[in-house]
Amino acid sequence: VYYYYFFCFCLFCYGYRYDRVLLLSKMDCLKSTPDRFLRYGTGGFRGDATVVEPAFARCGALACLRSKVLGGSVVGVMVTASHNPERDNGLKITEQDGRMLTQSWEALAEECVNAEDGAESLNGILQSFPESQCNRAVVVVGRDTRESSQKLSELVLAGASAFGADAYDVGEVTTPELHWIVRSRNSSSALAPYRDAMASALSSGIQGLSVDCANGIGALALKDIVSRAGISGISIFNDRKDKGLNLNCGADYVQKEHTVPVGHIPADRSASLDGDADRMVYYRFREDQFELVDGDKILAFVMRHLNG
């Protein structure tokens, strides 16, 4: 009996964190490492879904640690590869205020994801993470409409839960919606639900606008927003996921090819979203000339408006 209590005391002294890493290392979803080194870029981890799959459970654990360092604030993980082809997938981690993962943690994310199998390897890396006195962690996980996204989001949830987080699945949402959810749950002032807020911001007098939704999650969100706003002047196309996500359509395609997407509905002006609806371009024809209004021009219009 005394030996048993002494052994338990030694385990406690060795650290709660190693115990969690040991648990993680035994999970099937963490036993494999990527075939190539994965880098965390501006769009998070991204690539062929089968190649990046080993990153997802570990990123769930990483999001849990980030939440603890932030004092138990809600941290988000969005499963998406944005404007990439449908065979790809990836994830982005969202800070408590809705911003992307702070740059100082990007290198930590790469170390964690690319670590060799086994508790010793993971523990050595996780011991270098900033310490936290908070044991509470909350992680919310959203996903786009890719076929692989549900399975991969389940891996994120499993990794976060195994490391001690309260992990919540918010289902199929756009990337801006996931950011909004995270900021809302951490805000001292109540924010309206994302789609209600977007609907109230739209003018009921909108006419002559067609929107290419890249056959992605943006179609579901936009249809709901337009319905809530009671607007009839917006035509939505490329709104079926069985037609190929980002295939000859979407914001990235229009910008790079400088042409309208497949299935374009002629209108006074048009817009294209990308696969997770966090990127948009406007365009129109004037005297048979294609005119593109990209992000830089949109930002210039916004600044001009704000400056009066």
The set of catalytic residues is 82
Rounded Cα distance, 97 and 100, in Å: 9
Rounded Cα distance, 5 and 158, in Å: 31
Residue 193: how many CA atoms within 13 Å on its side-chain side?
9
- Looking at this protein, which amino acid is placed at residue 230? G
What DSSP string runs through the chain? -HHHHHHHHHHHHH-HHHHHHHHHHHSGGGS---SS----BTTBEEEEHHHHTTHHHHHHHHHHHHHHHTTT-EEEEEE--TTS-TTEEEEEEE-TTSPBPPGGGHHHHHHHHHPPSSHHHHHHHHTTSPP-S----EEEEEE-S-TTHHHHHHHHHHHHHHTT-EEEEEEE--HHHHHHHHHHHH-SSPPPPHHHHHHHHS-TT--SEEEE-TTSHHHHHHHHHHHHHT--SEEEES--GGG-TTTT-SHHHHHHHTSPPTT----SEEEEE-TTSS-EEEEEEETTEEEEE-HHHHHHHHHHHHT-
Rounded Cα distance, 89 and 111, in Å: 20
The full 3-state SS of 242-289, as one line of letters, equals HHCCCCCCCHHHHHHHCCCCCCCCCCCEEEEECCCCCCEEEEEEECCE
